[in-house]
Amino acid sequence: MTELLLKAEEKKLKEFDSDLKWFQDNYTKLKKEYKGKYLAIKNKEVVDNDPNAESLINRIKNQYGDAGTFLIEFVSDRKVHYIL
C-alpha cells in the first residue's frame, strides 16, 4: 500500500517538475502572450489563463474537479525579486 502510494506521489512530482521546467524554459515566449496573467499549466500546455488567480483556480476546479496537479504561475510584466 505504501509503495503504491509513493509511486503515485512520484508520478505527480515528475509531471509537476516537468511542467515547471517547461514554464521556465518558455517564459520569454509566454510573456509576449500572457503578460500580467496567471497561467494554469498541465502537461506542458497552457490550459487556461486569467488576470485573477482565484478566478482561474476556481474555474480549473469547476472544469477538472481538482486543481491540485496544475501548475499555477504568474507572468509578471516586470521582474519581481524574492528576498527571503
Partner 1 sequence: MKIVGGIGNGNLGFISAVLIIPSLGINAPIRFYIDTGASGTVIARKDAERVGIDKNKLKSLAVCGVGGMATAYALPKSLLAFRFTDCMHIEYVNSAMVLDSTAVGKQNYEAPSLLGIDVLKNYSIRYTKNQVIIEK
Q: How far apart are CA 70 and CA 7, in angstroms?
A: 18
Interface with partner 1 by CB under 8 A: which range of 4-12, 28-36, 42-50? Answer: 4-12
Residue labelled with grid coordinates 477538472: 64
Report in angstroms how near the CB of residue 23 gets to partner 1 at its nearest.
10
Number of residues that bind partner 1 (CB under 8 A): 28
Nearest to 18 by CA among 71, 56, 68: 71
Q: How far apart are CA 9 and CA 41, in angstroms?
A: 18
- Footprint of partner 1 on this chain (CB under 8 A)? 6, 9-10, 12-14, 16-17, 20-21, 24, 53-54, 57, 61, 66-70, 72, 74, 76, 80-84
